[in-house]
Amino acid sequence: MSDNTAKTQVAIARCPDCGEKIRLQGRLYVGKEVICPDCDAVLEVVDTEPVELDWAFDDEDDDGDDEDW
């Protein structure tokens, strides 16, 4: 039997802002954007094993010069 069908993955992670459990469905990957249904925080997946969320940051203004930090 071929395993070419897409599998739906379901995972639970906590919002780092409000602590609410967030149910994640579909393909999980680092960088996937998620919005907390409780507090509307814009989050992203930062790890998949175990699933961990952190605040999503807009990197458009980031010039990559972090040496001063």
- Please provide the average confidence, as pLDDT, over all residues in the chain: 83
Q: Let me know: does 48 contact 28? Beta carbons within 8 Å.
A: yes
User: Is residue 2 assigned to a domain?
Assistant: no
Query: What's the CATH code of the domain at 40?
Result: 2.20.28.160
pLDDT at residue 6, as a whole number: 43
Q: Is the pLDDT of residue 15 over 60?
A: yes
First to last CA, the chain: 54
* 41: in domain: yes
pTM above 0.75, yes or no: no
- pLDDT of 59: 62
Residue 61 resides in a domain: no
Distance CA 51, CA 2 (A): 28
pLDDT value, residue 69: 60
For 32-65, the pLDDT digits (tens) are 999 999 999 999 999 999 999 999 987 655 555 5
**Which residue range forms the structural domain that includes residue 28?**
10-55
Count of domains observed in the chain:
1
* 45 domain-assigned: yes
